[in-house]
Amino acid sequence: MNYLFLGIAIMAEVIGTTFMKQSDGFTKLVPSIVTVFSYVIAFYCLSLTLKTIPTGVAYAIWSGAGIIFIAATAWAFLGQKLDTAAIIGIILIVTGVLVMNTFSSASAH
């Protein structure tokens, strides 16, 4: 259940970040409301996750997955271009998360 909450937190954060861009500096009401609501859900679910998953591990997963989903969402829906350096950087972040979760004793619950 703890990884389900982390997944919900990540998706809510991606939605919040995407709508934050659309809120135009919180000057547009609906995207601003979606942003705030999404972040409330994200941080609530993250707090539930931190009851059982170490903070560093949860944050590494949050960051790694979040950067992939936000970059993909920005590319697909907001016209953001990803150059080779950006793609390599994303791959390195994901690799780091995988190494940490696979080989580090810090990921033990």
CA angle 8, 10, 14 (to 5 degrees): 115
pLDDT band at 108 (very low <50, low <70, confident <90, very high): low
- Percent of the chain with pLDDT strictly greater than 70: 96
Q: What is the DSSP-derived secondary structure letter of residue 107?
A: G
Domain range spanning residue 39?
2-107
Q: Indicate the number of domains in the chain.
A: 1
Are residues 52 and 109 in contact, defined by beta-carbon separation less than 8 angstroms?
Answer: yes
Give the pLDDT confidence score for residue 84 in this predicted structure: 94
Reported as a single tens digit per residue, the pLDDT across 70-94 is 999 988 988 889 899 989 988 998 8
